[in-house]
Amino acid sequence: VPNFIHSENAMIVTGKIGEVRKEVGKARAAGRTVGFVPTMGALHEGHLSLMRRCREDGCWSAASIYVNPAQFGPREDLDKYPRPFEKDRSLCEKEGVDLLFAPASADMYPEGHSTWVTVEGITEGLCGAFRPGHFRGVATVVAKLLLIVLPDAAYFGRKDYQQLKVIERMAADLNLPVRIVGCPTVRDGDGIALSSRNAYLSPKERERARVIPGLWREISSRWGRGVRTAGDLLAGLAGELAKHADTVEYFAAYHPETLREAGKDEALAFNPVVALAVRIGATRLIDNFQPGVDGL
Ligand code: PAF
């Protein structure tokens, strides 16, 4: 049974850069503000919340689905990354997306492509330390996508907090005329952040992953009681995390803009972002929580 779509115009689906430019041009000529949600597909409520926010902001909305090989390391999950295109396409349609851009790699990285965007500093710690080249791949593809779509605003989840900061930095440094909008992490009923990679977790592994929202609850409660050093905010929690995860890549409190790690005894004059990356079984999970800012 075909989905019945309640929209004035059918969603345009294209892989062609020229067609994206043409359609965006038409929307602009009609006086619309253009919003853009770049994704790698395997869409979940987190992505859909970005699409909704884009529409709530009154935008003519474009979304993209492109699993960007340049941001995967040689031993990472590029080949097994989920690609349920038909399902994704119908979810975009239901959210009222006006244009879905799904390019082929031959168009994004044609032969001879040799320009890369490297953001220094904030890409070096956290995930950057464990995924060499990852943020170069992200910054490059996002710069390209933004230059293809030329939106007024682009929407990204705060779940990938370092990615959001890298993209903000890149857009500012390259004078891209786009507003980068960071949106709240969407969590499942058990508090685990939605992620396309969650699908890899077995039920037992998922049970172990529940340690993460437990940490956020504890940190939120300590912050609420006035705890203001990273040492006290995180005391005992790294051990708790290590009990449930197979590997803890990082778990620390960071300055929300520079991503500098807060000193253990430093008096926190800012709301730190507590961020982590762990491996549970074959799955790598990242999450973060900013006490005093994020809800649970
Ligand atoms: O967050 C993602 O899904 C990707 O890193 C992005 C921003 C779409 C770039 O490929």
Q: Where are the alpha helices (DSSP H) in 8-133?
A: 17-29, 45-56, 85-94, 105-108, 126-130
pLDDT of 271: 98
Distance (Å, whole) CA 62 – CA 55: 10
Secondary structure class of 13 (helix, strand, coil): strand
Q: How many Å apart are CA 229 and CA 23, to the nearest integer?
A: 51
Query: Tens digits of per-residue pLDDT, 33-52?
Result: 999 999 999 999 999 999 99
Characterize 236-249 residue by residue with b for buried, 16 or more Cβ atoms within 10 angstroms of its Cβ, and e for exposed: ebeeebeebbeeeb
Backbone angles phi, psi at 36, to 5 degrees: -140, 135
Residue nearest to atom 6 of ligand 1 (CA): 39
Model confidence at 8, pLDDT cuts 50, 70, 90, reads low
Residue 60: strand, helix, or coil: strand
Report CA(77)–ligand 1 centroid distance (Å). Answer: 14
Task: Report how far apart the first and last C-alpha atoms of the chain are (Å, whole number).
Answer: 38
Instruction: Give the residue, by CA position, lying nearest to ligand 1 atom 9.
Output: 138
What is residue 2's predicted lDDT score, i.e. its pLDDT?
Answer: 44
81 CA distance to ligand 1 centroid (A)?
13
Q: Does 40 sit in the ligand 1 pocket, CB within 6 Å?
A: yes
19 has pLDDT over 80: yes
Name the nearest CA neighbour of 35 among 64, 63, 61, 65. Answer: 61
Q: Which residue's CA lies nearest to atom 5 of ligand 1?
A: 138
Query: pLDDT for 224-269, tens place per residue?
Result: 999 999 999 999 999 999 999 999 999 999 999 999 999 999 999 9
Whether 47 is catalytic: yes
Q: Is the CB of 70 under 6 A from ligand 1?
A: no
Rounded to the nearest integer, the mean pLDDT of the chain is 96
Give the rounded distance of the alpha carbon of 107 from its chain centre: 23
| pLDDT, position 36 | 99
The model's confidence at residue 6, banded by pLDDT at 50, 70 and 90, is very low
Separation between Cα atoms, residue 211 and residue 128, nearest integer Å: 24
pLDDT at 5 over 80: no
Contact 156, 164 (CB under 8 A): yes
Q: Is the pLDDT of residue 201 over 80?
A: yes
pLDDT of residue 17: 98
Q: Which residues contact 184 (CB under 8 A, 6 or more apart)?
A: 49, 157, 158, 294, 295
pLDDT digits (tens, 9 = 90+) for 91-150: 999 999 999 999 999 999 999 999 999 999 999 999 999 999 999 999 999 999 999 999
Percent of the chain with pLDDT over 70: 97
* Catalytic residue of the set 47, 134, 244, 255: 47
Mean pLDDT of 182-204: 94
Cβ(170) – ligand 1 distance below 6 Å: no
Counts of helices then strands in the chain (DSSP H, E): 11, 9
Locate all alpha helices (DSSP H) within 156-284, ordered by sequence.
161-173, 203-209, 211-224, 230-234, 237-244
Give me the pLDDT at residue 296, please.
Answer: 86
Q: Is 88 in the pocket of ligand 1 (CB under 6 A)?
A: no
